[in-house]
Amino acid sequence: MRTLWNKGTTATEAVDRFTVGNDRQLDLRLAEYDIEGSKAHIRMLQHIGLLTAEELKALLQGLDDIAIAVKAGNFQVEDDVEDIHSQVELLLTRALGDLGKKIHAGRSRNDQVLVDVKLFLRDELLQVRQEVLDLFEILQQLSEKHKDVLLPGYTHGQLAMPSSFGLWLGAYAEALTEDMEQLKAAWKVVNRNPLGSAAGYGNSFPLDRALTTELLGFDAPVYNSIAAQLGRGRTERAVADALGAVALTLNKFATDCIQYMSPNFGFIHFPDELTTGSSIMPHKKNPDVWEIVRGRCNRILSCSGEIALMSSNLPHGYHRDFQLLKEVLFPALEQLHDCLQMTGYMLQHLEVNTHIFENPLYETLFTVEEVNRRALAGTPFRDAYRQVGIEVNEGRFHYGKTGPDGSLASLKASDLGHTHLGSLGNLCTKEIAALMKEAATW
């Protein structure tokens, strides 16, 4: 197998197969970033006098030719080539002869991989940011659209107090603002330049790390060369933590939807074509999409812990264990993209039940409202609480306020008099939008 580290000896086929694993397939996602990092590196080499202007021009053209093949889907890592980095250098050497071998001066495969992964994760985080923003916008629109439609609220899985579809949907919109803050924190970890740290101990070439930082659009270099290598695992875990925050929000929302779709609740509905059936029970409309969202998000939540375990108990410096991080993080990114997009797609077809409170079962939701009504009328709160409790226990409780037609069914959220920040009557949609705007600025 052709490798960048070959010194005239060869590993056995069994060792190659075991140590390389599926790294070459995963590396295909890094091809464009390996080329981007290499371009910045050779521009720097020319700047410090290790390449001539003519050599730089030829190498840039060679890398551009490889980039065209990558974009067209015609690039692959050959069977006897170890990884993406070896393949790119091999193609340059085939095209340019010994000039292609100069591209690796002042660089180790360690900092080459680090910069590739950071460039890749930077783009992935930007994509997640946009998908979160898209979902946030849908949730806010639906929150406003259904803000006056009452919805039963639960604690301990038991009927608790009146909620609304506006309050419920708006809650997940605001949760996404906090998730966005974690994505921003991950971005700050990702967007620092490790290139030039070589194998972790710098290089005797007069490398201009400030130049490659500027060329690649990083905020700053990782200054200490050992610290750059310590970033292996730390960077991936920062991203995994942020993905996990988003995944937890989607997981809980999916669980709500599964429950609310059940005929026992019947609070929301989706078109039949967005559900699945049973091979034996003709009445079934299964929430398979939401169940897969929930299950995939559980897998994403496990990603951070798996990365932490892979990265712990290792002294500083590179270890081959780090190669396995891609096997954990890359699929998690793909799954989160899918879950965010599918959640938004499902919500575009959400139908809410506006007749929930025709069922007398839900009248006890208004016990707190009735206690407060009596307290406002002059009854001491604790006496009002006891009065209503006795009425509930004796089956004689009736809420003293009804909707326009004299029934609970026609009550709207705005009829309940909730006015404080973040309540049924004051969803703070604009304020939450401002939070998201600030969180998404990075």
Q: Which residues are identified as catalytic?
A: 156, 278
Angle of CA points 155, 303, 435, to nearest 5°: 55
3-state secondary structure (DSSP) of residue 154: strand
DSSP per residue, 81-120: B-SHHHHHHHHHHHHHGGGGGGGGTT--HHHHHHHHHHHH
Q: Phi first, then psi: what are they for 158, rounded to 5°?
A: -115, 155
Task: Please tell me the distance from the alpha carbon of residue 406 to that of residue 147, in angstroms, as a whole number.
Answer: 21
| CA dihedral over 176, 178, 181, 185, signed as positive or negative | negative
The pairing of beta strand 192-193 with beta strand 220-221:
parallel
Burial category of 406 from C-beta neighbours within 10 Å (exposed 0-12, middle 13-18, buried 19 and up)? exposed
Q: Check if the beta carbon of residue 407 is closer than 8 Å to that of residue 401.
A: no
Nearest-angstrom CA–CA distance, 214 and 40: 9
